[in-house]
Amino acid sequence: MNLKICKICKIEKPVSDFSKNRSKKDGLHYNCKPCDIKKVRAWELKNPEKKKITSIAYRKRNHARLLEADKNRYYADRETALIQRREYYDKNKETIILRVNEWGSRNRDKTRAYLRGHYQRNKPEYVAKSAKRRAAKLNATPLWLTAIQHAQIQEMYEIAIACTMQTGVQHHVDHIHPLQGDGFAGLHVPWNLRVIPKIENLSKGCRLPIEDVHLGWGDK
C-alpha cells in the first residue's frame, strides 16, 4: 500500500486519503482530505461573507451539474429527500419566506409569466380544483351564520387585499382548520379565518395546527 505523511496532522496515511494535485512531484496534495476539510471549515467560520460570495460564484459556474446532482439525489431516495426538505423548512421558515418574497419582488414579470404558463398547461386541473374548493367552502358555511358574521368573513378578504397592496407581498385568507383536511374538516366561519402571506399559506397545505392535531379523526 502506498503511504504519504500529511503536512498538518503528521500522520502517515494511504494515498487515497489525499486529493490530486498535478503541480506536486508525487501528483498529490500535501494535506490529507480530513485536514483539508477542517481547514476550509475553519476559514468559512472566520469569513462568512466571503464564503457566501464564493458559494454563489461556484453555483453559478456549476449550475447545470449541481442541478443534475440534486435531481439524482432526490429521485434516488425521494422519501428521505422530502423529509429533509421539510425539516430544513421548519428550521428556517422565516428566512425562507423572506427570501422568496424578496425574489418575487425583484422578479415579478418572471413570476407572472411562469404562473400564466403553468396555468395554461394545467388548466383542467386548476378548474377542477377551484370548483372543488368552492363546493367545499359552500358546504362548510353553516346556515346559522348571522348577517354580521357573513360581513366579518367578507372583511377578512378585504383585509387580505389591503395587506397585499400595502406590503407588495401577496396575502391569502387562510382557514386555520382546513376545509378539506386529512382527518378533519373545518368551517368557513369568521373565527376560523386569518390573513397570512401567500407563501406561508401554500406551505401549510391542508394540515391542522400542531396544537390541534389531536382533534383529527384519522388513524393515529
Distance CA 4, CA 10 (A): 9
Predicted confidence (pLDDT) per residue in 61-82, tens digit: 998 898 898 888 888 888 888 8
- Name the grid cell of 99: 427570501
SS3 call for 1: coil
pLDDT, position 220: 42
User: Mean pLDDT over residues 80-87, rounded?
Assistant: 84
- Range 168-174, long-range pairs (CB < 8 A, 24+ positions): 168/105, 169/101, 169/104, 169/105, 169/197, 169/198, 170/197, 170/198, 171/195, 171/196, 171/197, 171/198, 172/196, 172/197, 172/198, 172/201, 172/202, 174/200, 174/201, 174/204
Name the pTM for this structure: 0.44
pLDDT, position 211: 58
Distance CA 32, CA 83 (A): 33
Predicted confidence (pLDDT) per residue in 137-152, tens digit: 778 888 898 999 989 9
Stretch(es) of the chain classified as CATH 3.30.60: 1-55
Q: What is the CATH code of the structural domain delimited by 1-55?
A: 3.30.60
Matching residue, cell 376545509: 179
Question: Are residues 201 and 170 in contact, defined by beta-carbon separation less than 8 angstroms?
Answer: no
Predicted confidence (pLDDT) per residue in 163-185, tens digit: 888 777 788 888 888 887 666 67
- Name the grid cell of 181: 383536511
SS3 call for 170: coil
pLDDT, position 215: 54
Helix (H) or strand (E) holding 46: helix 33-46
pLDDT, position 183: 64
Predicted confidence (pLDDT) per residue in 16-58, tens digit: 999 988 888 888 988 999 999 999 899 999 998 999 899 889 9
In the predicted model, what is the mean pLDDT of the chain?
83
Strand partners, 175: 193
pLDDT, position 169: 79
